[in-house]
């Protein structure tokens, strides 16, 4: 059974994962309407994965005797200056989510909730991967700069790039 404090913290994280999913969806849509179809597909997949992250927490809360609350999600930014700006936003967003996960992990330790602490390890690893992926993509975009053919290939490559281990 989780404590009320942990239940509240997990519900907060549920909201954050839901917002992440929304955020990726908004960026996928911008890419789609601006002709970056490969990047758009990558971001749609990522949006789905964020929803899975939310669901995983959702089910955990209920399994452990809490009550998962469907979060209210604010509408994210829908216009961007370009693809590099999108990935810069992604990196900053994921760094912020990692910080929140770390705080949650710390809270579990201080509450002696080792089961939830254990459950959250998957998120710790996942965040590390997501930050790494965003940094790698930004490095590539820096190399491409204003080269249009480079951007064309980048868009094509991203369509088949994995968003996380095991996901196509
Ligand atoms: Fe849920 O992994 Fe990103 O935010």
Residue bearing the CA closest to ligand 1, atom 3: 94
Nearest-atom number in ligand 1 for the CA of 126 is 2
Output the six-digit token pair for 80: 């961007």
Q: What is the pLDDT of residue 160?
A: 84
pLDDT (tens digit per residue) in 6-65: 999 999 999 999 999 999 999 999 999 999 999 999 999 999 999 999 999 999 999 999
**pLDDT of 166 strictly over 50:** no
> How would DSSP label each residue in 81-106?
S-HHHHHHHHHHHHHHHHHHHHHHHH
**pLDDT of 141 strictly over 90:** yes
**Helix (H, G, I), strand (E, B), or coil: what is residue 113?**
coil
Give the residue from 44, 26, 46 showing the smallest Cα distance to 126.
46
Q: How far is the CA of 101 from the centre of ligand 1 (A)?
A: 10
In a domain, 168, yes or no: no
pLDDT (tens digit per residue) in 59-110: 999 999 999 999 999 999 999 999 999 999 999 999 999 999 999 999 999 9
**pLDDT of 168 strictly over 50:** no
CATH of the domain at 91: 1.20.1260.10
Does this model's pTM top 0.75? My answer is yes
Q: How confident is the model at residue 164 (pLDDT cuts 50, 70, 90)?
A: low
In a domain, 164, yes or no: no
Q: 129: domain range?
A: 4-159
In a domain, 15, yes or no: yes
Cβ atoms within 10 Å, residue 165? 8
Top-confidence residue, 149 or 165 = 149
Q: How far is the CA of 166 from the centre of ligand 1 (A)?
A: 16
Contacting residues for 132 by C-beta, under 8 A, at least 6 apart: none
In a domain, 21, yes or no: yes
In a domain, 89, yes or no: yes
Cβ of residue 126 lying under 6 Å from some atom of ligand 1: yes
In a domain, 167, yes or no: no
In a domain, 107, yes or no: yes
Cβ of residue 155 lying under 6 Å from some atom of ligand 1: no
Contact 153, 83 (CB under 8 A): no
In a domain, 61, yes or no: yes
**pLDDT of 161 strictly over 90:** no
The total number of structural domains that make up the chain: 1
Contacting residues for 56 by C-beta, under 8 A, at least 6 apart: 122
**pLDDT of 162 strictly over 90:** no
């Amino acid at each position: 059974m989780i404590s009320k404090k942990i239940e509240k913290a997990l519900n907060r994280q549920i909201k954050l994962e839901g917002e992440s999913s929304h955020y990726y969806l908004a960026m996928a849509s911008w890419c789609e309407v601006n002709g970056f179809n490969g990047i758009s597909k990558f971001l749609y997949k990522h949006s789905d994965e964020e929803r899975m992250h939310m669901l995983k927490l959702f089910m955990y809360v209920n399994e452990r005797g809490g009550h998962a609350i469907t979060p209210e999600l604010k509408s994210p930014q829908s216009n961007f200056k370009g693809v590099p700006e999108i990935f810069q936003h992604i990196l900053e967003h994921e760094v912020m989510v990692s910080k929140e996960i770390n705080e949650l992990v710390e809270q579990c330790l201080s509450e002696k909730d080792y089961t939830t602490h254990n459950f959250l390890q998957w998120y710790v690893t996942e965040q590390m991967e997501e930050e790494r992926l965003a940094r790698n993509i930004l490095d590539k975009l820096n190399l491409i700069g204003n080269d249009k053919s480079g951007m064309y290939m980048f868009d094509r490559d991203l369509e088949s790039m994995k968003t996380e281990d095991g996901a196509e």
